[in-house]
Structure 1
Amino acid sequence: MTNKQMIDGVLVVDKPRGVTSFDVVRQVRRLFGQKKVGHAGTLDPSVAGVLVVALGKATKLIDELQTRPKRYIGEITLGFATETEDLDGAVIARKTIDTPIATTTIDAAIKVLNGAIKQIPPMYSAVKVNGRRLYDYARAGAIVMRPERDAMIYDFHRTSDVNFENNVQKFNFEATVSKGTYIRTLASDTGKALDIPATMTSLTRTMGSGFTLIQAHDLTEVEKLAPDDLLQIIVPIKDILTWPTHILSDDEWFAVKNGQKIAHWEPSTNFKQLYYNDKLKAVYQYDNSEQVWRSRYVFDNQ
C-alpha cells in the first residue's frame, strides 16, 4: 500500500488475547500505510474475538457501528471475586461452596439479568467520573461513587453444564448485549443474585457491529497478503450501512454536495443513504425540530 491510496471501509479482525485494541489499530495503520484508522468497541487485552477496524472515511461511522449489538461467549466462576471482575485483578472475596448451587437456581439468577438493566461499571474501567477515568482512581486507591448506567441484555443464557470442583462452580454462557454493557459486571451481578462472589474467567466476542467471527481475519495471516489481496478483505462503506437508499436528482445532488437541508422528502425515523451516479455520497438524517433532512455523514462531495 502507498500513502496516496486511501482505503475506505472496514477490516474485521479476530483479535488474539494478550494485545490491546490499539495494538491492532497500530498494526492496521502500518499494513495499509495510512493514519486514519480507528476501532468500534474496545476489547480488553485478555479478551479475544471480533474487533471492527474502520479505515479512512469509514471512521466517520464508528459511532454508528458501536450502537449495534455485540455477542460474547465466556465462562463464569462462582466462589471468588476480583477487583477487576475478571482474572486480571487481585482476589477481593472468597466463599467456599460446600454444597453445589442448583442449576435451576443459577438459571433463575441469569434470567433476572435479561432485558433492560442497570449496571455499576467496574472501578477498573475507562468510564469517566469528574473528568477522570475510573481506573486512574482505582490505581491511586481512591474510592468514588460510580454512576449507574443503562444496559440492554437481549439474551443471556447458560450454554454448558455447571461444573463443581475444588469448591467452586463454573459454567459457560452466551450474551448478546447493547453498547456500554460490561460483561465482567454481568458475571459479577450473577454472583450477587446468588449471594456468592463471582468472576468472569474467560471471554470471547463472537459478534460486533453486525460482523461475526466467521468474517474476522487473523492479523498474522493478513500480514502475508499481497496489496491487491488486502483490498479484497476490506468491507466497503456501502456494505456496512443498512438504511433505505435514495437516488439523488441533479438538483438534490447540488443541495447535498453543498451541505444544504432538504425539506421535501417524507419524514422518517431512519437515516437515508444518498446515491448519485451509482456512488454513495452521503447519509442524511431527519430533524424533527426543524422538520427538514440534514447532513449526517459525507463520504464524497465531488
Structure 2
Amino acid sequence: MARRGRGDAHDAGLGVVGGDEREQAEAARCGKQPRRGVDAVETVLHDDDRRAVEVPAIGGDRGRGILGLRADEREVGAARQPLAGGHAHVHVAVPAREAQSRRTDRLEAGAARRDLDVVAGAREQRRERAAERTRAEDPDPHRSSVRRRPPPGGSGRRPPSRCPAVSLYGVNSGILLVDKPQGMTSHDVVARVRRLAGTRKVGHAGTLDPMATGLLLIGVNHATRLLHHLVGLDKEYLATIRLGWGTSTDDAEGEAFAAASADAVDAITDAAIADGMARLTGGIDQVPSAVSAIKVDGKRAYQRVREGEQVELAARHVTITAFDLLDRRRDTSAGAAIDLDVRVACSSGTYVRALARDLGDGLGIGGHLTALRRTRIGAFEVTDAPSLDDLDVAAALTSAADAARRAMPAIELAEQDAIDLGHGKRIPAPEGTAREQPIAAIAPDGRLVAIVERRAGQLKVVTGFPQEDAS
C-alpha cells in the first residue's frame, strides 16, 4: 500500500488522500456510519464498464482495467453545502503505472478534484525504479553515494529518465590524474572520487603510502578495466633518504633502530655514497619491506607484522633505471645523520623504502626513507594532475582511448574490424604489429574497443570495453 499526505491507502494499491473527507472515507471503508449524520458519503468502486465491484474482489481485478472511486455527494457537496439531487460527482482513480501527466486527464468532467490525490503503491514504485535502472546506459548497480533531492513542492518520486544515464555530474568513463596529498591512503582518494563522480565503480593503479604524495591514476566506471594495463608502467620518484639509522618499516613512521655513532656517520664520503647508489642501479634482486602490501598465504605482510609475526619476504627482480643524487645535507638536530635528496626511475614493483634501507646497510650506518613523491607513471606526469581539493572530475577526465594511446602502442581499426573485435572475434594482425605486448585497438569514431595481443598472426581481445565509453 502507499500513503502520502494525510490520506490513507486503498487495498488495491492506489493511495487516495481524502483531505477533509478522511473521516467519511474511513467510515465507508470500514462499513461504519459516519460520525456526522449530514455528512453521508457513498463510496463505490467500479470498473471500465462502470459496473460496481465488491471490495473483496479487488485483489483479483488488477488486470481487468481501471478501478474508480465514485463519491456520491447528492446530500453533501465538496464545500459541505447541501446539493440538489442529481449532482453526483465521480472521481476516477487511474492505475499507478500511468504517468503523472495523464492522471489529470482521466478525471471525469465535473469531478470534484479538491480532495482527490492518487499515488502509486509501493509495488508499482519498485517496478518504476527497476525500469529506470534497465533503461540506464550506466550498468553500475550500486546506489550513488550522493542522493538527489526532489524538486521543491514535488512528490519526491523520480520521473522516468529520457536521456542517457551517466553519473550525477556528467561523468561517464575515463582516467583521472590526481596529486595525492600527504596523510591520505590511496583508498581514501578513491573514496573521495567516488563521491565527486557519483559512482562506486572507481579504482586506482598503484598504491602510495599515506606519507607519500604525488601521482595516482584513477579509473572511473568502465575505464577501471584499463587499470590492469597501467599498473605495470615504470615509475619515477623524488625521495629523501636519511642515513644514520634504520627503522622497522624502512620509513620515518616505523620504530627507530639503534643509531650509528657520529664518527661512523662522519666517515661516510661522497664517493662512498655514489658507489653505494651505483650498486643499486640496474637490474637488482630486492627484498620488499616487511610492512608492504604483498600477500603471504592470503594475508597482507603488514597485517602479519602488526599481529606480532616475523615476516620474511622473498627477493624479487626489479630494474632501477636511474638512482641520481640531487643534494646532500648533514643533519645534527636528531643525532648524526646525512640526508640525501634523490631521483629514482624504476620498474613497477620497486620499493623506494627498500632502496633507502639497502643503501644505509651497504654503508654500514643504516638508512630509512623520510619523504617520497611520485612524479611520473609511464607517460603520465604529476604536473598534469590537479590536487584533490581542486579536482573537477568531469573536466579532468581523460578518455580511455587517450589514456591507452599514452600507455601502449595503438592501431586504428576499420569499421568492420571494430565491430568484430567488439563481439570478441579475432581479426588479422596488420603488418609490423608488435608481439607479446598489449595494443590499444581504436575504432574510427575514436573510442577504445579493446586491448588486444598478437597471437598466430591474429589480434585477440584481452580486455574489451563497452561502446558507452565513447567520449
SS in structure 2 opposite 1:93?
coil
Identify if the C-alpha distance between structure 1 residues 121 and 278 changes in structure 2 by more than 3 Å, giving closer, same or farther. Answer: same
**Alignment of structure 1 residues 151-166 onto 2, 5 Å:** 151-165=318-332, 166=335
Which position in structure 1 is the counterpart of 2:381? 212
Specify which of 238, 241, 247 is matched with residue 76 of structure 1.
241
Q: Report if the CA contact (8 A) 2:287-2:354 is conserved.
A: yes
Letter in 1 for 2:372: L
Match of 2:465? 299
Structure 1 residue 6: Cα displacement: 4.9
Query: Is 1:50 the counterpart of 2:211 in the alignment?
Result: no
User: Structure 2 vs 1, CA of residues 234 and 253 (structure 1 numbering), >3 Å: closer, same or farther?
Assistant: closer
Structure 1 distance, partners of 2:369, 2:441, is: 44
Q: Is the 8 A contact 1:100 1:169 kept in 2?
A: no
Question: What is residue 272 of structure 2 aligned with on the other side?
Answer: 105
**8 Å CA contact retained: 2:226, 2:404:** no
Per-residue displacement from partner, 1:202-251 (whole Å, max 9, x unpaired)? 111111242222111111122xx5xxxx422111112212313222242x
4+ long deviations beyond 4 Å? 3-6
> Any conservation in 1 of the 2:177–2:386 contact (CA below 8 Å)?
yes
Which residue in the other structure is 1:181 paired with? 350
**Does residue 1:262 correspond to 2:427, yes or no?**
yes
Equivalent-residue separation in structure 2 for 1:213 and 1:273 (angstroms): 23
Cα offset, 1:93, TM superposition: 3.1
Letter in 2 for 1:87: A
Q: Which residue of 1 aligns with 2:446?
A: 279
Where does residue 390 of structure 2 map in the other structure?
221
Partner of 2:400: 237
Q: Contact between 2:410 and 2:442, CA under 8 Å: does it hold in 1?
A: no
Q: Judge conservation of contact 2:453–2:462 (CA < 8 Å) in 1.
A: no
Deviations 1:46-83 (A, max 9, x none): 11111111111221111211111111111111111100
Task: Work out the CA distance in 2 between the residues paired with 1:4 and 1:205.
Answer: 29
Unaligned ranges ≥5, structure 2: 1-165
- Residue matched to 1:125: 292
Task: Give, in angstroms, the shift of residue 287 of structure 1.
Answer: 4.5
1:127/1:79 Cα in 2 relative to 1: closer, same or farther (>3 Å)? same
Structure 1 match to 2:179? 14
Deviations 1:166-198 (A, max 9, x none): 311111111011111000001001112212210
Amino acid across the alignment from 1:244? A
In 1: Cα distance, 2:241 partner to 2:326 partner: 11
Matched, 1:195 2:360: no
Question: Comparing both chains, which one has the higher relative contact order based on Cα–Cα distances under 8 Å and sequence gaps of 6 or more?
Answer: 1
Q: Number of matched residues? A: 294
Residue 412 of structure 2 corresponds to 246
Q: Aligned letter for 2:281?
A: N
Rounded to whole Å, the distance in 2 between the matches of 1:221 and 1:4 is 15
- Partners of 1:25 and 1:133 lie apart in 2 by 20
Could you tell me how far apart the structure 2 residues matched to 1:30 and 1:264 are? Answer: 42
Aligned with 1:94: secondary structure?
coil
Q: Could you tell me whether the CA contact under 8 Å between 1:13 and 1:216 is conserved in 2?
A: yes
2:197 to 20, 32, 35: 32
Report the CA distance between 1:134 and its aligned residue: 0.9
2:278 aligned with 1:115 = no
Q: Structure 1 length as normaliser, TM-score?
A: 0.90
8 Å contact kept, 1:123–1:138: yes
Structure with higher Rg: it is 2
Distance 2:448 2:367 in 1: 49
Q: Give the % identical residues.
A: 30
CA contact (8 A) 2:360 2:366 kept: yes
Give the secondary structure class of the aligned counterpart of 2:242. strand
Q: Which moved more, 1:105-114 or 1:122-131?
A: 122-131
Which residues of structure 1 form unaligned runs of 5+? none
TM-score (norm 2): 0.59
Residues 201, 224 of structure 2: 8 Å contact kept = yes
Q: Answer 1 or 2: which has greater strand percent.
A: 1
Between the aligned partners of 1:208 and 1:272, the Cα distance in structure 2 is 18
